[in-house]
Structure 1
Amino acid sequence: MSCSRLFKCLPVMLAGITLAAASLPALAAGPEAPPGYFALPSYQQPANPTALDKQLLAIMADYRVVGLSAAVYRDNKIIWSGGYGWADLNTGRAVTPATLFRVASLSKMVTATALMQLYEQGKFGLDDDISSSLGYQVRNPHYPAVKITFRQLLNHTSSIIDSGAYDAIVESTPALLPALDIKELLVPGGQYYSAATFAPQAPGTCFNYSNFGTGIAGSLVEKISGLPFAEYCSTFIFKPLGMDASFEPADINNWQNIATLYRPDGQFIHFRPTKDTYTGIKPAPATITAPLGSALGYSPAGGLRASTTDFAKFMQAHMNGGSYNRIRILKADTADLMHSMQWFGYSMDGFYKQKGLNFHITDDLVPGRRLIGHSGEAYGLSGDAYYDPDSRIGFVFMLNGANLNNADPFYRVENTIAITLLAAFAPPAANLSRELRAKVNANFITVNGRKIVLPAPAAITRSGKTQHLFLPAVATADALAAGINQQGDTVTFTQGQKKAVLTAGQNRMSVNGETLLLPHPPYRQNGQIFVPVRELAAALNISTRLRL
């Protein structure tokens, strides 16, 4: 079925889906569930199922999904939402669009937003030493003279990693976290200090995905604001956006509708509850005894509870330059900065290739689309919240248990759901023409109205009557929505089947093996390789208009 035909079959606005008593055919029966595990019952289906309902339920059956909630948004509106399957296998409680989930690493976008609100107030600079705000010195013992910065925490290049005592505590004794002073992990002589907490690479030089780094970012929110982390996020993010969400489950009005998370057995037949098993009893408030400035008890890296429809409000605010329904949580420049490519490379088996400030920039979730957002996976939860800046359509979905095998680099169930949702509601992916506005020595450019902050100022040269724009390679990839890789002085850009290879100091470019001459060679300056934007865009078949 084509995208246009499927779109016509679907209602454009749905507050949710009403479940009927009728159910789908039972899932394949298996042996009796062992103690502590639950069998997966057949799914209930909507009273008048649409083509999309049937597709999603079929995907759930294929991947043994316990429950699925999803929302699709455009501009400032949720244009569709749905819930399927089970929020609680013990009681038979169904998932609805209002079901809340522990959203795992989607939380990192919220933590980064909280910290960047304080950045807007001039409380710190992104390249400041975090020690100045923490009140004690934090150094990688392998590089004691190199500062660790706010920017590095948010783009995962701080060299602080999920190892040493932090990882052991999270895995084995998480009850310690509400009482844990992070200074004991970060400063030599601390009770839990270990050199293994720090990578052997210098801060700023290597990407290491770090939950602890985001925990430190949340702790900095406390240090700088003077408020407990959960209270700060509720006051300045969730309440303004009208979200019933919190890093403190006891503060959630709709706590009865928090989904239990499940992990499957080895055969994906039975499911074991792992998190949020409240059994009808309201969760007690966390007892945080750690000093202010130690927020690990709130799990800033993964502990947010929110529904997909509420989290979509947060994502719409980011997609719309920091504002949702006239409620501004960030300045437009700050939102653009967070979404600008800050790092590129190859990490976690290729899952991370481009990163903003705790925002993931990916071409791998939906083929042909560059998406901005984040994914999450913990305790059996798998979820994604991304938007397409070209079509201005985004989605949020959560699974509370599923077959999460076959990652390349996303789990296959994630790819399948994301592709299905965008096929239903987004126009076909297109090579959108890009209008770039730049000025010589400016520290930013705009691309179709979106500001991209440059790591080094733009440069403009002339060849006869033609002006040539040179930008740092990372900003060029961001502006053209191209893939990028770099080895020494050689940078490779990709777009579809096109591959262009440029080397600093050489006035030629290889495009799919063919050599093209350049009027001016790329060059290295201020630690960046500058590349000619017009010529590169033409080589990659990307339509551009330069306003210089």
Structure 2
Amino acid sequence: MQQGRRALLGLALLGGMSRVLNTNAQGLAELAPAPAPVTGLLKLDAELDAIAANPTCELASLSVLAMRHGRVVYEHQAGRRHIEGTGGPAVTRDTMFRIASISKMVTTLGVMRLVEEGKLALDTDAGMYLGFPLKNPHFPNRPVTLRTLLTHTSSLRDAAGYSWSNDHALKDILVPGAREYGKGEMWSDKAAPGDYFTYCNLNWGVIGTMMERVTGERFDRLMRRLILDPLGIRGGYNPAEFSAGELANVATLYRKRATDDDAAWTPAGPWVPQVDDYTAKAPVPPLGIDKYSIGTNATPFSPTGGLRISAPDMGKLMALLVNQGRHEGHQILKPETLARMFTRQWTYDGKGGNGDSNDGLFYAWGMGNQQFFDHEGQTVVEGGGFAAAGHLGDAYGLMSVFMVDLAKGNGMIALVGGTSTDPEKYKGKHSSMARFQEQILDAMYRRAILARAD
């Protein structure tokens, strides 16, 4: 089960070389942080394995990464990427997970490249890019902009759905009076664009379609060009285009159920695949893709949640943020662009007057990123000390975390490919996350970031 890996390799064993020269974002030599003690990291391996095997909430698979002062200092994997009875292939550092809503933050990185290039503007009426009016009929004089879409203040809602096959067009769904508009449940009748935060997946389907429209490129391939390929990241938003080797290393996502058709978690039941089970059947291309008109409906590629990626490759994204947009000597995004992206756009007023906190899960938001406070009663790690930005993910049994303190260069990534127990019934003690997520982050923060061996 144990697949621990100390990213500092032999340096952790060389006491006389515990500090080494590194290169900072400006290309200047500086002293790198001392590696965490080997004993602490070995304890961390064991602690994470115990969390994954906990009968109260067993984890189907786990892949984690920790960054300390801008350097990856720890990786670990546990569990099986495909479960076959009591066996199955182990998770490795190359295993890719469908990371759910963390995909939104990665999509936003692509958006911000297009903003840099002048192809999109944050405060222009989104309908100008889509080729059809994007107007809330209850507030027709308030424009929906890219900024309101990126901050969940667009007044769009998920009540009418947020994904349709490629033989549908968003203009036929979102425009009042169009043939698939229905009852108009996708629009709030209580809040105008820009006034109220409500987490909405549909925003990112619209954003992905805007990206296609202004570039003439299909969303999944556009994201490869803008972000994934420049960083050397495998995977992507369309598994139908993955190689056989990539497919073999995609983790199936699971829940424990009594039967395949049972919607409730059953801790004593079998692991039931929920998505990405490619052991017997390869993924099929999105329905209607053969006749798809680029720029009409990007939702089948799931800009909102469909990225398959490994924890180490997510570490490349984290390093990109910490290094102010630089990767291996290349400036992928300008520092000022990332500063705009992570500038706080919305803060919960504590009363529900300016947004829905989703039972305390959301307190602050940038553009395409959640911002995590560090105050009494709501801390990322036990005892506090880690304020961060990033995103959470929750879909098909997967629970994912991407959190980074941009000022200090400390960050943590945790990908869980399924749980035996409903996470809603295994609540955290110091945050709105599930208890097992708290335990994973607490252990990594103590051992890998604070470098404690006690």
Counterpart position of 1:332: 335
Q: CA deviation at 1:130?
A: 0.2
CA distance in structure 2 between the aligned counterparts of 1:318 and 1:179, rounded to whole angstroms: 37
Counterpart position of 1:376: 393
> Contact 2:66–2:449 at 8 Å: present in 1 too?
no
Counterpart position of 1:541: none
- Structure with the bigger RCO (C-alpha within 8 Å, sep 6+) is 2
Counterpart position of 1:262: 254
Q: CA deviation at 1:283?
A: 2.8
Q: CA deviation at 1:111?
A: 1.1
Cα shift readout 1:331-366 (whole Å, capped 9, x = no counterpart): 110111111111011511111100000111102322
Which structure's CA Rg is the greater one? 1
CA distance in structure 1 between the aligned counterparts of 2:9 and 2:416, rounded to whole angstroms: 20
CA distance in structure 2 between the aligned counterparts of 1:217 and 1:14, rounded to whole angstroms: 41
User: Which residue identity is paired with 2:275?
Assistant: K
Q: How does 1:58-457 map to 2 (within 5 A)?
A: 58-62=50-54, 63-74=57-68, 77-90=71-84, 92-164=88-160, 166=161, 170=163, 176-193=164-181, 194-199=183-188, 200-253=190-243, 254-265=246-257, 266-270=265-269, 271-287=271-287, 288=289, 289-293=291-295, 294-345=297-348, 347-363=357-373, 364-366=379-381, 367-402=384-419, 403=421, 404-405=423-424, 406-407=426-427, 408-427=431-450
Counterpart position of 1:25: none
- Report SS of the residue matched to 2:347: strand
Cα shift readout 1:88-133 (whole Å, capped 9, x = no counterpart): 1126111111111111001001111111111111223211100111
CA distance in structure 1 between the aligned counterparts of 2:69 and 2:167, rounded to whole angstroms: 42
Cα shift readout 1:12-62 (whole Å, capped 9, x = no counterpart): 5259xxxxxxxxxxxxxxxxxxxxxxxxxxxxxxxxx92111100111122
CA distance in structure 2 between the aligned counterparts of 1:117 and 1:286, rounded to whole angstroms: 26
> Contact 2:144–2:154 at 8 Å: present in 1 too?
yes
- Report SS of the residue matched to 1:386: strand
CA distance in structure 2 between the aligned counterparts of 1:357 and 1:111, rounded to whole angstroms: 11
Of 316-325 and 216-225, the range deviating more from structure 2: 316-325
**TM-score normalized with structure 2 length:** 0.79
More strand by share: 1
Cα shift readout 1:370-403 (whole Å, capped 9, x = no counterpart): 1111010000000111112243111211111113
Q: CA deviation at 1:10?
A: 9.0
**TM-score normalized with structure 1 length:** 0.66
- Report SS of the residue matched to 2:224: helix
CA distance in structure 2 between the aligned counterparts of 1:73 and 1:121, rounded to whole angstroms: 30
Q: CA deviation at 1:66?
A: 0.8
> Contact 2:70–2:410 at 8 Å: present in 1 too?
no
> Contact 1:323–1:329 at 8 Å: present in 2 too?
yes
Counterpart position of 2:13: none
Q: CA deviation at 1:251?
A: 3.0
Compared CA separation, residues 393 and 130, structure 1 to 2 (3 A): same
- Report SS of the residue matched to 2:341: helix
Compared CA separation, residues 279 and 393, structure 1 to 2 (3 A): same
> Contact 2:165–2:286 at 8 Å: present in 1 too?
no
Compared CA separation, residues 57 and 12, structure 1 to 2 (3 A): same
Unaligned stretches of 5+ residues in structure 1? 1-8, 16-48, 171-175, 430-548
Of 225-234 and 318-327, the range deviating more from structure 2: 318-327
CA distance in structure 2 between the aligned counterparts of 1:352 and 1:159, rounded to whole angstroms: 17
CA distance in structure 2 between the aligned counterparts of 1:70 and 1:328, rounded to whole angstroms: 27
CA distance in structure 2 between the aligned counterparts of 1:344 and 1:109, rounded to whole angstroms: 18
Cα shift readout 1:274-308 (whole Å, capped 9, x = no counterpart): 10011154434435244212100101100010001
User: Which residue identity is paired with 1:373?
Assistant: G
Q: CA deviation at 1:323?
A: 1.7
Compared CA separation, residues 390 and 160, structure 1 to 2 (3 A): same
> Contact 2:69–2:408 at 8 Å: present in 1 too?
no
CA distance in structure 1 between the aligned counterparts of 2:239 and 2:7, rounded to whole angstroms: 32
Cα RMSD after superposing both structures: 2.3
> Contact 1:246–1:304 at 8 Å: present in 2 too?
yes
Unaligned stretches of 5+ residues in structure 2? 11-40, 258-264, 351-356, 374-378
- Report SS of the residue matched to 2:166: helix
Cα shift readout 1:473-530 (whole Å, capped 9, x = no counterpart): xxxxxxxxxxxxxxxxxxxxxxxxxxxxxxxxxxxxxxxxxxxxxxxxxxxxxxxxxx
CA distance in structure 2 between the aligned counterparts of 1:280 and 1:147, rounded to whole angstroms: 47
- Aligned pairs, number: 381
